[in-house]
């Protein structure tokens, strides 16, 4: 891989729109990202409705944003956990992803604003995200969704969360899931991986990877989680998986490894490596025709998979 890898059309403009100032404190970086989210915002597709609501739990409320395409229900549903290295990201900054996924998949997409690290712990974060999934299943009537066609989805750190939630659902917490949609996911937390040091991704750099892993470990030490990373978990019995990776991404190798582990566990798995793409490219749908094409591929795969469950 070259020092300056070839990127798909529109990605450079997208990266310019989302690039923050190095060294900005986390609290301010979160605020600035939300304030500047309009830079990557997309027009609302014709007929789509967007509603903000809350999953009410003992001791907290979890914001959710619900995207419903213009179609008669009951529709499939995708519970989406955004990226951001477990510490940043929000339903605001990942609005283009969730909106485009709803349009491409024809499903109701529920974007979950989970509590982030370091204020939360991984144990608490995953429990909260699982509670959100179960709430969505309980609200199936009000949401006009089909409980036989509920999926989990996530990108980057959100893919890690989606897998953990799928494991909890499998192990008796429910609900039964139709599939898992995982985009350039973090499936390992080992900073010594050779692929991290050799990658030339302009987004997910080695210093950033190390910072994410350090934040996760520090938060986990306060209240150790009862689960391991996806690459070291028992994956048998999980729902079918659709994985979309990026050619230049620092985590592309662990995406391939996760797909291999799923297949070895007997889980139907579809893997695509998007050419000329960097980490986070699906938020670039406003700028990049190739990114929009990859999102359509993801939606088409989902439609095909869940069609058999009608």
Annotated catalytic residue within 155, 201, 279, 288: 279
Sign (positive or negative) of CA dihedral 225, 187, 114, 178: negative
Strands 145-155 and 75-81: what pairing? parallel
Question: How many C-beta neighbours within 10 Å does residue 151 have?
Answer: 26
Cis peptide bond prior to 118, omega within 30° of 0: yes
Mark whether 190 is an active-site residue: no
156 carries an active-site annotation: yes
The rounded Cα 42 to chain-centroid distance in angstroms is 18
Burial class (CB in 10 A: 0-12, 13-18, 19+), 155: buried
Q: Is the separation of the CB atoms in 41 and 63 below 8 Å?
A: no
Is 249 annotated in the active site? yes
The one catalytic residue among 90, 105, 111, 156: 156
CA pair distance 182, 203, nearest whole angstrom? 18
Which among 95, 155, 201, 249 is annotated as catalytic? Answer: 249
Please state at what angle helix 289-307 crosses helix 95-105, rounded to 10 degrees: 50
Ramachandran region, residue 287 (left: φ > 0; alpha: ψ -120 to 50; beta: rest): alpha
- Please give the Cα distance from 113 to 261 (Å, whole number): 29
Which residues are identified as catalytic?
156, 249, 279
């Amino acid at each position: 891989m070259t020092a300056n890898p070839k990127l798909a059309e529109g990605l450079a403009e997208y990266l310019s729109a989302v690039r923050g100032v190095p060294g900005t404190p986390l609290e301010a970086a979160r605020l600035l990202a939300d304030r500047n989210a309009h830079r990557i915002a997309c027009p609302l597709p014709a007929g789509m409705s967007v509603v903000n609501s809350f999953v009410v739990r003992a001791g907290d409320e979890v914001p959710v944003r619900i995207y419903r395409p213009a179609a008669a229900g009951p529709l499939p549903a995708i519970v989406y956990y955004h990226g951001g290295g477990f510490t940043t990201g929000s339903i605001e900054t990942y609005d283009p992803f969730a909106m485009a996924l709803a349009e491409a998949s024809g499903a109701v997409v529920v974007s979950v604003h989970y509590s982030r690290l370091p204020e939360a712990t991984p144990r608490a974060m995953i429990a909260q995200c699982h509670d959100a999934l179960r709430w969505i299943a309980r609200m199936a009537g009000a949401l006009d969704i089909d409980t036989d066609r509920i999926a989990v989805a996530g990108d980057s750190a959100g893919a890690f969360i989606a897998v953990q939630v799928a494991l909890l659902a499998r192990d008796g917490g429910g609900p039964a899931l139709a599939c898992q949609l995982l985009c350039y996911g973090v499936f390992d937390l080992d900073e010594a991986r050779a692929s991290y040091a050799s990658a030339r991704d302009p987004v997910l750099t080695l210093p950033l990877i190390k910072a994410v892993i350090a934040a996760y470990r520090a938060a986990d030490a306060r209240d150790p989680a009862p689960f391991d990373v996806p690459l070291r978990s028992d994956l048998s019995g999980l729902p079918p998986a659709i994985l979309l990776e990026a050619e230049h991404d620092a985590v592309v190798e662990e995406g391939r490894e996760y797909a291999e582990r799923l297949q070895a566990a007997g889980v139907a798995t579809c893997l695509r490596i998007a050419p000329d793409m960097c980490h986070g490219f699906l938020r670039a749908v406003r700028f990049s025709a190739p990114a929009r094409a990859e999102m359509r591929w993801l939606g088409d795969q989902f439609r095909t998979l869940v069609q058999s469950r009608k």
